[in-house]
Amino acid sequence: MNHQSSSEVTAVTLSNGLTVAAERLPAAQTVTLGAWVRCGTRDEPPHLAGVAHFIEHMAFKGSPRRDTLALARAFETLGGTVDAYTTHEATCFSLQVLPEHLDDGLDLLSELLCDAAIEAEGVELEKQVVFEEIAESEDNPADIVQEVCAAAAWADHPLARPVLGTRQSIAALAPEVVRAWRDSHYTGQRVLLAAAGAVDAEQLSRAAEHWLGRLPAVGEPPALVTPTFHPGPAARRAPTDQVHLCLAAATGGAIDPDRHALWVIDMLLGATMSSRLFQEVRERRGLAYQISSSWQVQRDVGLLAIDAIASPKHVAELLAVVRDETAAIARDGVSEADLAWVKGYAVTTIRLAAESTSSQMARLARSFFYEGRHVPLVETLAAIQALEAEDLLRAARRLLAGRPWVLAAVGPVTAKKADKWYEVIGS
């Protein structure tokens, strides 16, 4: 085993290439474990769209050791909280347990990763569950507009495809294909085990070697294929009275040099109730009940997305406000008062999140996932505190000055109407 340590975090590489990262939180009474598999939607070929998410489902369908009921009962016996989700870049299984149940928790996580039964009967049954999940998403305009936006922005790249896949791709999945994909992607080099809370690093490493050391050791994951951003309007009709909008601009990825400045810009633009867009669009003009921004980040690229729901008669004015506010930030930057406020906000929110073992586990995992090392909380806070007004101005100009947008609209809208709305934001 190779070791890398700090006063708070210990990282160990197991014999099969799996990374174990542990952060001991002195005041914690529980430990949260997270197994992060470095595979997601962007690793899928088109004919297997949705297979990563499908395998996440199948992990809970039982194994040769335990059927579905026995597996669920085993998790519940520990009294912990189990969760799983799939993104475009990762599949994560997490479990919060008492420290004395660490070994049992790892046993269960290893069963999900290594032993899940992928047989014909269970696969066909779970397809019906995923079909229901797809149907639910198709009934939600907020989900639809995100899919329309991603499809427009990234075109034929896997990042353009929904995590759930399609009915056609899921229906075509055969058990042997699903098993082969799982076996080739759930490997030591692709798995990161993160733990935060009342955890003993040596005990965790020994238990991880026992339970997860049996994952096969293979080479590094393939190199990323970075997508090209495609601006422009995109529309989809839906039986709603209001229009769901998603306006997106391309940004750098998770380790972009301007990442902390981008976070600050997002907070001041639309991510908080005191942000420019929320105050101008909702509070002063009453153009929408809901408007917000978010930075949707991948390893190599990202989107600054502005989401809103508005009546069709208000969309053009709303977009004009977005155009003017983003142009103002790119032209003038942010005030010293706003910069001071967001620095204080960062300290508060990041420190509050540090109280949660689940949040700390996820933060630890993301730092290893994206940067290959532990990024201390104080380092992140120091980077934000060090930002000057000129740093924000430079980043804002890079992001927003003259940059093209994707405008996705879902609801009572036509392609012609979306084109007219796009003229507002593009002018």
- Per the structure block, which two tokens stand in for 48? 């297997």
Q: For strands 9-13 and 81-86, give the pairing.
A: unpaired
Q: Report DSSP letters for 180-233, one per residue.
A: HHHHHHSSGGGEEEEEEES--HHHHHHHHHHHHTTSPP--PPPPP-PPPP--EE
Distance CA 406, CA 425 (A): 10
Distance CA 354, CA 348 (A): 10
| Catalytic sites, residue numbers | 56
Long-range pairs, 61-68, Cβ under 8 A, ≥24 = 61/116, 61/117, 61/118, 61/122, 61/125, 61/126, 62/116, 62/117, 62/122, 63/111, 63/115, 63/116, 63/117, 64/115, 64/117, 65/111, 65/115, 66/111
- Per the structure block, which two tokens stand in for 84? 């799983």
Q: For strands 232-237 and 191-197, give the pairing.
A: unpaired
Distances (CA, A) of 78 to 33, 37, 56, 200: 13, 23, 21, 18
**Nearest residue to 151 via CA among 81, 37, 229:** 229
- Note the Cα 46 to chain centre separation in Å: 21
